[in-house]
Amino acid sequence: MSRALNYVDAIREALFQAMEADPSVFMIGENMRAGIRPESRGLYQQFGDDRVIDMPISEAAFTGFATGAALAGGRVIVEFQVSSLIYPAFDQLVNQAAKLPYMLGGQRFLPVTYLIMGAGAGGGRAGQHSDNPYPYFLHAGIKSVFPTTPADAKSLMLAAIAEDDPVAVFAPVGVYGTKGPVPEEPVLAPLGRGVVRRPGADVTVVAGGPHALQAVALAENLKDEGISVEVWDPLSLLPLDKAGLEASVNKTGRLVIFDDSNRTCGFAAEIAGLAAERCFHALKAPIKRVTRADVVIPYSAPIETEVLATVDRLEAAVRAVMG
């Protein structure tokens, strides 16, 4: 049974169901008890202060706290209210949690989920609240997902919690207001599986989050001109569905990557590299990337829009690869 849920409500439902199903799951974060955050509202009242713990504003310590609790048998969800709040915790994420199981020779693994809210730019949030920091995580080898729809948000959140490794769930601020059908049951999506959001024949656009939705809308607009755009949404950034990417690019022979993280060594660069290695002989045009500029996200609207990955630029890139 499905019913329409808002994106953030879908995350909350996943948190409730995961905590109901497994008493070893607990959640730490900031400002949960007060219920000001819609993704965690009501969790404290339901599960109490042994399982929903408001942390001091000490991101480094509470990230390491989750690592230690996981070593001692816990299954921990760590919430960062805004994506840039991972930076104070960087050592504990990339140098401790991401490396510890390997360095231990597999003595233990770490069932920890990093719920990273507020990913991406969204109207004047400026330099320190607008990042899509997943490339750092991918670089560090931390499993990462980027759910686009409310159904994806719930199923990937549940999958992340069930995984015995650290998994980062990036919730893009650009889809918070969206609503869509979400199964009532706790259904897990497999990691490492992308989805063809809209089938097409002439060009593959790789995009996730709000950018996938924008790409689908653009594809509808271009249909009448005889340009058939396929939108492929990776959903899971690490592991990545390389076979799904390859199948789409081999089919269309053209690739545009539409990604709102930084250009240099960003996610789009990785996709472009993979497609060049795997699909070189199928390509009919050079690969194009439409990304953020490599500058700080500015506050004022005209200059903010200027540096983001916009659908206008995507359209121009699609037309360019079509020749």
Partner 1 sequence: MVVGETEIQNVALYRRMRLLRRFEEMAGDLVRGGEIQSAVHEYTGQEAVAVGVCAALGPDDVITSTHRGHGHILAKGGDPALMLAELLGRETGYNKGRGGSMHIADIDLGIYGANGIVGAGAPMACGAAFMFKTMAERHVAAPFFGDGAMNQGVLLESFNLAVMLHLPVVFVCENNGYAVTTPIGEVLKGSILERAAGFGLAVEVVDGMDVRAVRAAADRAVKRARDGGGPSFLECETCRFSVHNVSAGPAWPDERAEDEREEARARDPIERLARQLIEEGRWTADDRARVDAEVESELEGGLGFARNSRRPDPDSAYDFMYARPYAGLPARGTDG
Catalytic annotation present for 129? yes
**The one among 107, 224, 281, 323 contacting partner 1 by CB under 8 A:** 107
* Both structure tokens of 252: 């269309």
| Long-range Cβ contact pairs of 211-215 (< 8 A, separation 24 or more) | 211/174, 211/258, 211/259, 211/260, 211/309, 211/314, 212/148, 213/148, 213/175, 213/178, 214/258, 214/311, 214/314, 215/258, 215/311, 215/314
- Count of Cβ atoms closer than 10 Å to residue 180 Cβ: 17
In whole angstroms, the minimum distance from the beta carbon of 304 to partner 1 comes to 31
In whole angstroms, the minimum distance from the beta carbon of 290 to partner 1 comes to 23
In terms of residues, how long is the chain?
Answer: 323
Contact at 8 Å (CB) between 285 and 312?
A: no
**The one among 6, 17, 84, 92 contacting partner 1 by CB under 8 A:** 92
Please identify which of the residues 129, 139, 211, 281 carries the catalytic annotation.
129
In whole angstroms, the minimum distance from the beta carbon of 301 to partner 1 comes to 36
Q: How many residues bind partner 1 (CB under 8 A)?
A: 52
Q: Which ranges of 197-239 would DSSP assign to H, the alpha helix?
A: 210-223
* Both structure tokens of 79: 């919430």
In whole angstroms, the minimum distance from the beta carbon of 259 to partner 1 comes to 19
Instruction: Give the footprint of partner 1 on residues 261-290 (CB under 8 A).
Output: 274, 277-278
* Residue 60 to residue 317: CA distance in whole angstroms: 41
Residue 250 near partner 1 by CB under 8 A: no
Residue 242 near partner 1 by CB under 8 A: yes
List contacts with partner 1 (CB under 8 A): 26, 50, 53, 55-56, 58, 60-74, 76, 91-92, 95-96, 100-109, 111, 141, 143, 163-165, 191-192, 238-240, 242-243, 274, 277-278
